[in-house]
Structure 1
Amino acid sequence: MTAHEVVIRDIAAMTVACVDHTGPYMQIGKAFDLLIGGLASRGLLSPGTRMVGIYYDDPGIVPEAELRSKAGAMLPRDIEIVPPLSLTQIRGGEYAVLRHAGPYSDLHATYEWLYGTWLVQSGREAADAPAFEEYLNNPKETAPADLLTEICLPLA
């Protein structure tokens, strides 16, 4: 396994514009398409728009068809929200942040290491809040091997 470096970081609370997704996490791209289309049609996307995915359920426990997640965008200002968009609050506080390099399809192994090895050995506990991912480059313009994703695990 590739060496992983976890950084403990304080992350400020943030409100994100989101589109809900239920089903396999690897199909959240459909929710991102709706989100991006909705924001683009209102002139709310810029090259610096930060995109996040919020993941609520453990795919090892919850049936794939029932997994809950949200495709989100951090916006520089408040906007009027119209369906299918909604606003979601990401809690502020201490997070274990792990950068994943490579295709999204390999994220599950990184999560397994973060929760199953690092968290167990760290002496820390996960907070009762969802993990989120921040996507540092655009999958429509970046080869899968070059994708960068920060996994943010909230700590108690």
Structure 2
Amino acid sequence: MTMREVVIRHVEPIELLSVDHVGPYPQIGKAFDALFGWLAKHNLLAAQMRVIGVYYDDPSVVEESALRSKAGVLLPHPVQASVTLSPPVSVAHLKGGDYAVLEHRGPYSDLRAAYDWLYGTWLVQSGRKAADAPSFEEYLNSPKDTAPADLITEICVPLV
């Protein structure tokens, strides 16, 4: 069994520019492509932006074709008033508070096992409860220039 460490981190509320995705979570890349295309068109790409995926449904309960998620970015600066948000981009809000944060190293295809451990083992043994809010992933490097085995993803689960 892989050793995993979870830290409790207080997260301030986050406002993201996002694109909705409905369907299998591993296919969220299409929504990220649309988001990055929109950002490029509006000259909003920035090296320091944080890339975040928001996941609303439990894939063990919700039909794969109905899973809801958002591909998002937190820009290092406010969006200028001259930029009008237009579909497919909208604003999404993540609640602030305490989050259980698990750093996952490796391919995105292994994230499901990390979630299973986080919810099925760590959360049960921690004495904490998950809040009724979506979890999110922050991608600390990019699959465009990083080997799958070297990808780093923080899985963030909101706590009560």
- The bucket for the TM-score relative to the shorter chain is over 0.9
The count of residues paired between Structure 1 and Structure 2 equals 156
Separation (CA, whole Å) in 2 of partners of 1:40 and 1:93:
32
- Name whichever of 73-82 and 116-125 sits farther off: 73-82
2:118 aligned with 1:117, yes or no?
Answer: no
Tell me the residue number matched to 1:77: 78
Q: CA deviation at 1:100?
A: 0.2
Q: Give the TM-score of the pair, scaled to structure 1.
A: 0.98
Q: Which amino acid aligns with 2:78?
A: R
Tell me the residue number matched to 2:137: 133
Separation (CA, whole Å) in 2 of partners of 1:55 and 1:100:
16
Q: CA deviation at 1:47?
A: 1.4
Q: Which amino acid aligns with 2:11?
A: I
Per-residue CA deviations over 1:13-58 (Å, capped at 9, x if unaligned) read: 0100000000000000000000001001111111111100000000
Q: CA deviation at 1:81?
A: 1.3
2:153 aligned with 1:153, yes or no?
Answer: no
Q: Give the TM-score of the pair, scaled to structure 2.
A: 0.96
Tell me the residue number matched to 1:11: 11
SS of residue paired to 2:113: helix
Tell me the residue number matched to 2:106: 102
Percent of residue pairs identical: 62
Q: CA deviation at 1:146?
A: 0.4
Q: CA deviation at 1:66?
A: 0.3
RMSD: 0.7
Separation (CA, whole Å) in 2 of partners of 1:140 and 1:22:
23
- Name whichever of 114-123 and 72-81 sits farther off: 72-81
